[in-house]
A and B are shown apart, each in its own frame.
Chain A
Amino acid sequence: MNIWQKLSSIDRRWVFLAMALFVAFPVLKPLGLPVTTTKEVEDIHSFIENLDGTKPIILGLDFGPSTAPELTPMAKALIRHSLSKGIPVLGVSLAPDAPGVANDIMKWAESELNAVMGKDIAYLGYKVGTLNVILQMGQGISKPFPKDYYGNNTDDLPIMEGVETLEDCAMVVGLEATAISDLWIQYAGDQMGVPIGIGMTAVSAPEAYVFYQSGQIVGLMGGMKGAAEYELLVNAPGAAVQGMDAQSLGHIVILVFIILGNLGYFFGTKGQEISRLKSLRDGEK
């Protein structure tokens, strides 16, 4: 086995170790690399910036612990921004593993932002049905959610004053780990005419660009980068901005291994095969 073939057949545990070291190092010692913002995130920010605060924002907290590192910073930055503008935030969940995470976010808003539960923020909990829940919210928000997550009657909450259906809300911002974003866009957005903003995990974000370009959503935040951008826009760098250095090095590591693998392929196995075929052809001549 020559050096090139060895390069393309490193034991995968060394790959794991390299990933772990290069991602862990910036978490321990931040590098301070600058984060820049993009238009799709700025568009959500400026849409909320231009709201007058008379109607609440529906925040779709549709993610669980497996995607929380990307989406929790988005939720916190959005809540911080909305409350700073005097815009109440009404949280709902359409994913079953969301309530635990959403409850923590609400408790954070109460303690860190001095938000008053029921007035500045509210969390209606989770409901089975996704599509049917959104359609019912179009008829009346308290129809699928007669009580909030903490047992209070939804219609009695101060935040619900003057708010009956989804159309009485300023916008819906869905923070999605799955295809629930499509349902918000299809039903709340295109059918009911409610402005939609979407925050997605980076896995699904490329597919949401079609809705952004066609104007079906006002803006898009993709992954931890999108969260970091929003944190910067609201002047409150947090976990997402902290994670971008580790993100950078992690990407570099993967690219280096891809390059090594391709070098090994071209100069190793494939290169040897080409040489062998050439020598066979020369031998025939």
Chain B
Amino acid sequence: MRDQGLWTWHLCAGIVILVLLGLHMTIMHLDEIVRVFNAAPGEPIGWANVIARGKSAFFLVNYVLLLGAALFHGLYGLRNILFELNPAAGLKKALNGLFVVAGLALFAFGTWAAWAGYTVARGA
């Protein structure tokens, strides 16, 4: 039952990623065709464009949501692949703990980086 719930969250996270990463990829890699959220001329990773997007609360929320959804989706997917190899019960427990701790630590670091980037952009 618990795994069924986690699997449903995995699918929901995939849909969130599809929308938010789709937007991110459009901004970063389809800029020759659809130039959105790249106000300054030049590369999407140019500092002027990074700052312009970084000032926006919309992108702050976007980055944090994408971070959380992608970490859950990716780490849960990796956990499923590893569990299919039939590890011992103790190893399964250790892997579960490792993924939860690693996921939370990466989410905390990424959220701090997104917030600090937002503060830097607002001050620029």
A binds B: no
Interface residues of B (CB under 8 A from A): none
